[in-house]
A and B are shown apart, each in its own frame.
Chain A
């Protein structure tokens, strides 16, 4: 009886585990089955390196969107990484206990805010701010980078803080015992020791930024043209899919799925590099 029960439960667990794997496999099949033929029809190079996206004329080049995603993500990294890493250093090594609880829960709350709320905040606050401070329309690479930089903070802070806390105290104490100050010991011994964890945090942040859709659509302008400056509007891969999916048909629809394939490959590369980094540490 018990044996039968155990077997049964084992089977249930196996099914549960398979479900998530199946989901990934099905997504892959769907993406590639629909996307690859479209890419072939358009021509791989025309699709990936084409500078024009004009679905009504059957021109499908997604280079503007690839660059858009890369620029916006890079901007988010430039803004989010220094703030995030410094915040994590503060939280792990400098923060008084009283502030810590408050800071930690605010950052956790940041992670839980729906992206549409971030987008709305960007639309109402950041877009006018950028317009008035730097000029242009306000919806731009810069605005999207600012907003995404904020959105990736919880990921970067959380993972970097864990990495810093995982560094054995003996390194810190060894540095102090040489007459090194608290600050120097942390920046020159503890921080380098946590390097691989912090790089993993940054890469996860990149993954978060490149996949973000809703908030970016609300502040980036979404013009499907080659990026022309950080105060000009831009369209990302994710935005491209969402904006046109509603009315696209035939090759246009498949071209959007092919866009998703490109995005998927990006995410795949990012996840692979995270696991390589984790294995090395």
Chain B
């Protein structure tokens, strides 16, 4: 079933056309990777999907993005959209508060009250993000004391705590060491059972390792969108081939 559909999407930053006629269907409980050189528009498209681009001055779009058939720009309240479509940022950004409060922030925002209920959500989220064992004895300590990799998994747990349907990940491992990276990759594959995941990555091996489908972006266009296996083994477009074989980018 199609979870997210992007149709004829153009995006402008003032006069600059950053995305050109994007058409992508994303199925439920799939991992989709966006790859491409810097400045190709992959992060821009990702931020369109939860409307974080609204924060950018002079940004406007034409075309449609639908979540479960509903237009996210017209038929949906923005905070509800962001609850359903969670996001993990490139740089781990835990709030400067305790680990517990970091995770509790989202549920509290959406009206969850009562310590027992919150405790449950927090434990479940931290377990799902594979960080429970590392932090269970220091929930009341500041989240800023964690290592970079732990902080990123905490941010994933924080996103999971509001029970999203889709998880957007913007180069979530680019600031991390190889061990933390592999932990996050395992986690993403694990999360596929319950969530639809879209991950932007610079790392083609990462895309090949974890994603079901891959979209290759170049200069604001989707050059090729296909099953990951096919895209990497026999790319249809010459430009895709050049990129994945390392001839440019």
* A positions within 8 Å CB-CB of B: 168, 170-171, 173-181, 184, 188-189, 192-193
Contacts and interface: CB of A to CB of B under 8 A. Distances in A.
Contacts, number: 65
A176 B96 contact: no
B162 interface: yes
> In terms of DSSP, what is the predominant structure of the interface of chain A?
helix
A171 B93 contact: yes
Given A180-B106, A184-B109, 14 more contacts: A170-B89, A174-B89, A174-B95, A175-B109, A176-B55, A177-B50, A178-B158, A179-B80, A179-B83, A180-B109, A188-B109, A189-B95, A189-B105, A193-B95
Interface residues of B, number: 26
A251 to B, nearest CB: 54
A174 B79 contact: no
Contacts of A173: 52, 55, 89, 93
B64 to A, nearest CB: 21
Contacts of B81: 179
Contacts of B89: 170, 173-174, 177
B96 A178 contact: no
Nearest to B84: A179
B110 A179 contact: yes
Interface in B61-96: 79-84, 86-87, 89, 91, 93-96
A178 B93 contact: no
A180 B79 contact: yes
16 contacts: A170-B91, A173-B55, A174-B158, A177-B82, A177-B87, A177-B89, A178-B83, A178-B158, A179-B79, A179-B83, A179-B110, A179-B162, A180-B106, A188-B109, A192-B97, A193-B95
A174 B82 contact: no
Contacts of B93: 168, 170-171, 173-174
